[in-house]
Chains A and B, each alone.
Chain A
Amino acid sequence: MKTIAATMSGTVLQVLVQPGDRVESGQDVVILESMKMEVPVQATVGGTVKEVKVEVGAFVGDGDPLIELED
Chain B
Amino acid sequence: MEIKKLLIANRGEIARRIIRTCRKRGIEVVAVYSDADQNLPYVKEADEAVRIGPPPVAQSYLNIDTIIRTAKEKKVDAIHPGYGLLSENATFARQVEEAGIRFIGPSSEVIALMGDKVKARQQMAAAGVPIVPGTPEGVKNVEEALIKAQEIGFPVMLKASAGGGGIGMIVCRSEDELSKAFPSTQGRAKAYFGDNTLFLEKYIEKPRHVEVQIVGDHKQNVVHLFERECSIQRRNQKVIEESLSPSISEKTRSRLYEAGVQAARAVGYTGVGTVEFLVDQDEQIYFLEMNTRLQVEHPVTEAITGLDLVELQLDLAAGKLLPFSQEQITATGHGIEYRIYAEDPTTFMPSPGKIEVFTAPQGEGIRIDAGVEAGNEVTPFYDPMIAKLVVHGKDREETLQRSREALSAFQIEGIRTNLPLLKEITTDPQFVSGKYDTHFLMNRTNSTRRN
Contact = CB atoms under 8 A, between A and B. Distances in A.
Interface in B373-430: 379-384
B349 interface: yes
Contacts of A3: none
Contacts of A33: 380
A1 interface: no
A contacts with B: majority SS: strand
Given A34-B380, A35-B384, A37-B384, A8 B350 contact: yes
Nearest to B348: A37
B56 A36 contact: no
A58 to B, nearest CB: 12
B352 interface: yes
Contacts of A11: 56, 380
A8 B352 contact: yes
Contacts of A10: 350, 352, 380
Nearest to A32: B380
A39 interface: yes
B68 interface: no
Contacts of B384: 35-37
A9 B384 CA distance: 13
User: Number of contact residues on A: which range applies?
Assistant: 10 to 19
B342 interface: yes
Nearest to A60: B380
Contacts of B56: 11
Contacts of B349: 8, 37, 39
Contacts of A39: 349-350
A9 B351 CA distance: 9
A10 B56 CA distance: 11
Contacts of A34: 350, 352, 380
A39 B384 CA distance: 13
A11 B381 CA distance: 8
A8 B381 CA distance: 12
A62 B353 CA distance: 10
Interface string B321-363: 0000000000000000000001100000111100000000000
7 tightest A-B CB contacts, nearest first: A35-B350, A34-B380, A35-B384, A34-B350, A10-B380, A9-B380, A36-B383
Given A10-B380, A33-B380, A39-B350, 5 more contacts: A11-B56, A35-B343, A35-B382, A36-B382, A37-B384
